[in-house]
Amino acid sequence: MDLEIGLLGCGTVGAGVVSLVRRRAGKVADMTGSRPVVKTILVRNLDKNRGVTFEHERLTTRPDDILRDEDIQIVIETIGGIEPAKTYILEALRNGKHVVTANKDLIAVHGPEILRVAEENHVSVLFEAAVGGAIPLVGPLKENLTANEVTDLKGIINGTTNFILSEMTSRHIDFEEALAMAQELGYAESDPSSDVDGLDAARKLVILSSIAFQTEVHLTDIRIEGIRHVRAKDVRYADELGYVIKLLAVGRDHGGELTLAVRPTLIPKVHPLAHVSDAYNALYVRGDAAGDLMFFGRGAGSMPTASAVVGDVISLVRNLKLGYVASSPNGTLTAKPVVDREDDRYKYYFRLVVHDQPGVFASIAQLFGSAHASMETVLQKRVDGGCAEIVIVTHELSTTTARHLVDELQHLSHLQAVECVMPVEPVTE
């Protein structure tokens, strides 16, 4: 028996979905007795070449051909963005259809509302592809690891910035050149701000931390810093000191209080996350029973993302056979305050530009000493125009002390600029 699917959008991900559903239909039919078939595909432009073959009459520009078709049981949304995707998904749920989506922007902001409507209508919403592309993250956090109290999430969950930082490291080029390469290769959009300013990683952190910490997390809860200010010289100094720079998304549950941040971070070269290069993604999870786990793989692309979407479709087909509906990934949510913990302790990397004059370093050392901030490593490099660069990696400091140091440094007469300050991730804790 055919199980009919409506596909909203047929771009990079949608085309991969059409081809993978076709490839796996026989296997699913053998497993469940139902053969998934993409019946109707909603697009804007009927004449575009989609790089995948199907009968032209399956295409439509009328959403109702899917949302009001009583034979369609599953709707896959791969349009992206908030509207019209949200309206279509809510209507599909209200019409009793199960939904699979790859849309992180929508789930990060409207996930609770969408899950509530699904629950009210006794249908499922699955969104494995919204975070980490092919890497199973949502499923393990909501199913396989539920016996754990998850305390830590640490991840490289934006492929574009990871590609840019990897190119800056291996080719010794600056941010702008690496960004242009990413755009040429299709890893970055023409407007790259959502990726390079950290928003895309923050949206994924909202989704992951809501599930892992069983609470409702909002985008505004996350301290977000992008990678535009990271220079080739920061990458080079980090390398000299034994680190690589990554845009790290971090979520921690400190016994009921959460800290959530996305920011460029120095990672020791011996840390497993330091080896996650190019457009790959990885997530490091700590559970009280499981210990430390790391998930690694392709975070984007047509077939890797289709792998997660079609995996959700197959779970749905199996569940339908069993008469089971899984609409809420979170179960009962606990309210957990998100705090900016002033006493969180990290080592910090500082890059300062100073006028190259006698006594400058002594005044900086005195300032750090009076803040009880001890230095682990110092590099001093001469630069053009009578200036020098001083790079300091401190021992562990509280966030308050690091902020206080940045403020106090501005008052030093020989200081030209505090150019870059980044936390340093410990090897192990």
Ligand X SMILES: NC(=O)c1ccc[n+]([C@@H]2O[C@H](COP(=O)([O-])OP(=O)(O)OC[C@H]3O[C@@H](n4cnc5c(N)ncnc54)[C@H](OP(=O)(O)O)[C@@H]3O)[C@@H](O)[C@H]2O)c1
| Binding site residues, ligand X, CB under 6 A | 9-14, 42-45, 48, 78-80, 84, 102-104, 129, 133, 300-301, 305
- Tell me how far, at minimum, the Cβ of 30 lies from ligand X, in Å: 29
Q: Which of 193, 400 has the CB closer to ligand X? A: 193
- Tell me how far, at minimum, the Cβ of 365 lies from ligand X, in Å: 48
The candidate with the shortest Cα–Cα distance to 93, out of 110, 112, 74, is 74
- Tell me how far, at minimum, the Cβ of 272 lies from ligand X, in Å: 23
Q: Is 387 annotated as a binding residue?
A: no
Contact 373, 394 (CB under 8 A): yes
CA distances from 344 to 63, 89, 198, 348, 398 (A): 49, 40, 21, 12, 5
Q: Is 12 annotated as a binding residue?
A: yes
Q: Which of 62, 218 has the CB closer to ligand X? A: 62
Q: Is 101 annotated as a binding residue?
A: no
61 phi and psi angles, rounded to 5 deg: -110, 5
Q: Which of 105, 396 has the CB closer to ligand X? A: 105
Q: Is 10 annotated as a binding residue?
A: yes
- Tell me how far, at minimum, the Cβ of 15 lies from ligand X, in Å: 8
Which of 39, 204, 336, 347 is catalytic? The answer is: 204
Q: Which of 141, 421 has the CB closer to ligand X? A: 141
DSSP state of 125: E
The candidate with the shortest Cα–Cα distance to 154, out of 268, 78, 65, is 268
Q: Among this protein's residues, is 97 annotated catalytic?
A: no
Q: Which of 9, 423 has the CB closer to ligand X? A: 9
Q: Please provide the DSSP assignment of 12-30 as one string.
A: HHHHHHHHHHHHHHHHHHH
Q: Is 13 annotated as a binding residue?
A: yes
SS (H, E, C) 236-278: HHHHHCCEEEEEEEEEEEECCEEEEEEEEEEEECCCHHHHCCC
Q: Which of 103, 121 has the CB closer to ligand X? A: 103
- Tell me how far, at minimum, the Cβ of 61 lies from ligand X, in Å: 7
Q: Is 14 annotated as a binding residue?
A: yes
CA distances from 138 to 83, 146, 156, 221 (A): 24, 11, 15, 20
Q: Is 11 annotated as a binding residue?
A: yes
User: Is residue 273 packed enough to be buried (19+ CB in 10 Å), middle (13-18) or exposed (0-12)?
Assistant: buried
- Tell me how far, at minimum, the Cβ of 159 lies from ligand X, in Å: 8
Residue number of the CB atom closest to ligand X: 11
Around Cβ 177, how many Cβ atoms within 10 Å?
Answer: 15
| Identity of the residue numbered 168 | M
> Which residues are part of the catalytic machinery?
204
Q: Which residues are part of a known binding site?
A: 8-15, 104, 189
Q: Which residues are part of a known binding site for NADP(+)?
A: 8-15
